[in-house]
Amino acid sequence: MTIGEKIRYFRERIGITQNKLAELTGIHPVSIRKYETNKMQPQTQQIDRIADALGVSSFAIAGIENNIRLETIGDLMGLLIMLCKTNIVIIDGKREKDGAFKPDTVSFKINPLISKFFKASANGADFNANDILYSLKSEHIFNDILRWEKINYGYEKCAAKYSDTSNKATENALEDLRNSKELIEMELQRSAVMLDNEGGIKVKVPLDFS
């Protein structure tokens, strides 16, 4: 999806008009219309204002091109997805027959090409950073990232196998799968629960669109 298509998706998801989005963001309604029809690209500042109004991560709208903010669970999910898609963070484990990872075998590690430049130390002893394996503390985030990974893994396999196809039905099926994957990625980045919730659950409240 383009940035404009994502803005429209999230706007319609919460049921507000283009004029209301313009009112909430202070952006001219004509600009909002041009953003959604890809006739004009919003800059980082406009993307942040639109994301705040829609109650989503700015990363969900602009992807890696936009500055990443780490305030909410949605922000974190966007970052994790980006790190996995770019192979910076690698999810490792045994897969089921349907392609999904077996949760009790899963660990996360930094790409060895990156981690080899770092030295790990603990209690005065040094060890190989390539040997560090991470796990996610939050079961909810863990399950969500594995759900996304299964779909992404299936899409990547299909895309690699049928990328040169001239069969229109196959092309359409790949496009549908890609769109479904993107929608799931976008939905995972809608969580407004703040990352710093030591004093109880806190939610980032979007701009009032009542």
What domains appear along the chain, each with residue ranges and CATH number? Answer: 1-69 (1.10.260.40), 73-191 (no CATH)
Q: Is 0.75 topped by the overall pTM?
A: no
Tens digits of pLDDT across the chain (210 residues): 889 999 999 999 999 999 999 999 999 999 999 999 999 989 888 998 998 899 888 878 887 655 567 888 888 998 899 899 888 999 999 999 999 999 999 999 999 999 888 888 888 888 888 888 899 988 999 999 999 999 999 999 998 888 778 888 988 888 888 888 888 888 888 887 888 766 666 777 665 655
Using alpha carbons, select from 104, 101, 110 the residue that is nearest to residue 148: 101
If one counts every other C-beta atom within 10 angstroms of the C-beta of residue 12, the result is: 11
**Helix (DSSP H) and strand (DSSP E) numbers for the chain:** 9, 4
Rounded to the nearest 5°, which phi and psi values hold at 119?
Answer: -115, 135
DSSP 6-70: HHHHHHHHTT--HHHHHHHHT--HHHHHHHHTTSSPPPHHHHHHHHHHHTS-HHHHHGGGSPP--
